[in-house]
Amino acid sequence: MSGVYDNLGFQREQNGEVSIQVEKKLSGGEQLTYSWEKVNVFAVTATGCGKKKKTQETHILKDVAGICRPGELLAIMGASGAGKTTLLNVLTFRSDDALRITGSLYVNGQRVTPDLLTSRSAYVQQEDLFIGTFTVREQLLFQAHLRMDRHLSHEMRVKRVEEVMQELSLTKCAKTLIGVPGRLKGISGGETKRLAFACEVLTNPALMFLDEPTSGLDSFMAQNIVQAMRNLASKNKTVISTIHQPSSEVFALFDRVLLMGEGRVAFLGSTSDALQFFSGLGRSCPKNYNPADFFISELAIEAGNEAECRTRVDSTCNAFLSSTSGQQVAYAVAENKKSFSDANGVSPNHVHVNKSPYKAGWWEQFEAVLRRSVLANAREPMVLRVKAFQTILIALLVGVIFLNQETNQDGITNLNGALFLLLTQMSFSNSMGVVNTFCSELPIFLREHFNGMYRTSVYFLCKNLAELPLALIQPAVFTAITYYMIGLSTDAKNFFVCMAILMLVANAAISFGYLVSCLARTVPMAMVIAAPLLIPLMLFGGFFLSADSVPVYFVWVRYISWFNYGNEALMINQWADVEKFSDCEENSTLCYHTGTEVIESLGYSKDNMGLDVGLLFALIFGYRIIGYLLLLLKTNRKTVKQYE
Ligand SMILES: Nc1ncnc2c1ncn2[C@@H]1O[C@H](COP(=O)(O)OP(=O)(O)OP(=O)(O)O)[C@@H](O)[C@H]1O
């Protein structure tokens, strides 16, 4: 198909009907003026410990006000630590929970809410978060599927993806895997940055935020990205970006600049007015000098000369407030607070916020996320191979250690030990496996969820379903290798029951892993929580202490331990059918006469098989439901705070 492409736009001529339709449906022509005022951010820091512990508030952003209108490309600049990222996070409701924030944000005379922002804006964050086993095109199609208007056809979405890839020079690597640093070689750093940008511009948002979009890019690519931002602005989009030390060429593409120093606004206006403002203060930018470097050096705090630099930055900020540019900003901000309405009381600029922030319906989300989860698992052959190798190796080791035990008095202790070892192996490997994978994927989920792509329920369900096959195959393989090597009950029925019990145990351990992962957030934190919780669950599982010997204040632990129910079920399966031990004299009181006696000696009852299986199912669902509720708590949009 031939035609003419505009920058980050659409094919317009020859067979370009589809593209023009996409453009109409995507843009909607909405124009947004975003303003903020009296933004203050405080960080609470603690010093000392015990009784000497003191908390103090650090004032990070101080009465920051500003505005960005449709068609403007605003660069937020300043020296390191000036507060650029903090401001961008406030503007996008992504601030650290520990910060205390006050201030007001307005869009077209309306107070900004997180839902309004999600539905109208895109945010290119500094940290690139992707599923590394996906190709560039797959990633973009996934985004297009879930973030573009639900009325767009599949054909239109594919077309848009191809156009954005072409515009950002990603076509060449469309089929290349994104990659995982240090593990799976993928696209280059520059291509990753461009992919992050491509994901956000797909929906042609009216408002766009970018946090240092050019960091790590060579000057040509940096210019390419900023030019793409410029093109968005020229289509009446509102574009706000922090930028770190841009080259002269890149800086020239910005029409407005917000200079920050020590958490205050040192200047907001056009780049030419900024140069004039500094000249007026007797600090002119030398000829042939990069203005961006000049502004940053004027607002930097030099080591060894802090007091003087701070006074200079302070006086610059004060001078801006009383300057014409400063007053223009204050006026424009005040104007944007007013809600204009026509004769019928209807505001022409009113920003309608849908009840649901999601573009795709529940089933569409479910289908797309499930497909991605399954593919992501299947495309980790190394991880699968390591898991398979580990399972087979440990199974063979256990099999060899407990090889050919006999069903006699000597064998009872060994067989019980072997069964408990199977239980322990299924529990630790599965719960720790989930903690590792779930926590490391959590940041991607949180970002995509808050981008309005899919619900927490969809993600959690898909994750569970995608991992279910492995959660059944691993215990099956483990049982198949160890069972007959150890010399457990030779009846086929007992073999399959043992396999089924270990499958339930593995899934209960996975549920526990989900709970811990949702409780923590990072892998190290989850590991720290998981180990001390697993040990008591194992200790009170009936092998180390018989059920009757558990201290009364720890009895409750037994009820939430899958080790306990799993062990009882395995014991019943192994011993209930043994009617007589041939090596135990009938009158002897020093040995077990029947399998039932073995079961009872552990404080178990042979009638409890059904109960144990039921309770294992209850733990599988119970732990997962609690984990899901914890995740829901973390992701509930209603808990995203509004500023005072
Ligand atoms: N959660 C926090 N707790 C304590 N201090 C914080 C917190 N977040 C930011 N700060 C402090 O606020 C100041 C501004 O930080 P910010 O990250 O916004 O700066 P920046 O201008 O983006 O710097 P850089 O260009 O180096 O990224 C810094 O002094 C930083 O140490």
* 108 and 249 within one domain: yes
- Cβ–ligand 1 distance for 453 under 6 Å, the answer no
Hunting for tokens 């660069």 — which residue is that?
A: 75
- My answer on whether 539 and 588 are in the same domain is yes
Under the banding of pLDDT at 50, 70 and 90, the label for residue 66 is: very high
The answer to whether residue 430 sits within a structural domain is yes
Residue 356 within any structural domain of the chain: no
The more confident residue out of 28 and 373 is: 373
CATH of the domain at 115: 3.40.50.300
Residue with tokens 């945010």: 123
Residue 579 is classified by DSSP as -
Reference 266, options 24, 14, 61, 35; nearest CA is 61
For ligand 1, whether the C-beta of 89 sits within 6 Å is no
- Minimum mean pLDDT range among 128-142, 273-287, 543-557: 543-557
Query: Mean of the pLDDT values across residues 43-72?
Result: 83
Q: What tokens does 168 get?
A: 């950002």
Together in a domain, 272 and 172: yes
β-strands 110-111, 54-68 pairing: unpaired
Q: Which atom of ligand 1 is nearest to the CA of 96?
A: 1
- The whole-angstrom separation of Cα 550 and Cα 544 is 10
Do 411 and 331 belong to one domain? no
pLDDT band at 457 (very low <50, low <70, confident <90, very high): very high
For ligand 1, the distance from its centroid to the CA atom of residue 87, given in whole angstroms, is 10
- Count Cα neighbours of 247 within 13 Å in the Cβ-side half-sphere: 14
ipTM above 0.90, yes or no: yes
174 and 130 inside one domain: yes
Has residue 392 been placed in a domain? yes
Residue type, 398: V
Of the pLDDT bands very low, low, confident and very high (cuts 50, 70, 90), residue 345 is: low
Ligand 1 and 100: CB distance under 6 A:
no
Looking at the domain assignment, is residue 613 inside a domain? yes
DSSP code per residue over 585-618: -TT-SSS--SHHHHHHHTT--GGGHHHHHHHHHH
312 and 445 in a single domain? The answer is: no
> Does residue 346 belong to any structural domain of this protein?
no
Quote the ligand 1 centre to 201 CA distance (angstroms).
27
341 lines ligand 1 (CB under 6 A): no
Q: At residue 316, what are phi and psi to the nearest 5 degrees?
A: -65, -45
CA 297 to chain CA mean position, Å = 36
Let me know if residue 351 belongs to a domain. Answer: no
One domain, residues 307 and 379:
no
- Where in the sequence is the domain holding 370, given as residue range(s)? 362-636
- Which atom of ligand 1 approaches the CA of 86 most closely? 18
Average per-residue pLDDT in the chain? 85
Interval 318-335 mean pLDDT: 91
List of residues 6+ apart from 197 with CB closer than 8 A: 124, 168, 210, 213, 225, 228
CA 85 – ligand 1 centroid, Å: 7
Q: Is 94 helix (H, G, I), strand (E, B) or coil?
A: coil
26 and 118 housed in the same domain: yes
Long-range contacts of 162-166 (CB under 8 A, 24+ apart): 163/5, 163/9, 163/10, 163/11, 163/19, 164/8, 164/140, 164/198, 164/201, 164/202, 165/136, 165/137, 165/140, 165/198, 166/5
Q: Which among 60, 64, 264 is the best mutation to test ligand 1's pocket, defined by most ligand atoms within 8 Å of the CB?
A: 60
Residues 418, 297 share a domain: no
Nearest CA residue ID for atom 30, ligand 1: 81
390 and 291 assigned to the same domain: no
- Claim to verify: residue 331 and residue 373 sit in the same structural domain: no
Regarding the beta carbon of 376 and ligand 1, being less than 6 Å apart is answered no
- Tell whether 377 and 322 lie within a shared domain: no
Count of structural domains within the chain: 2
Q: Assess whether pLDDT exceeds 50 at residue 151.
A: yes
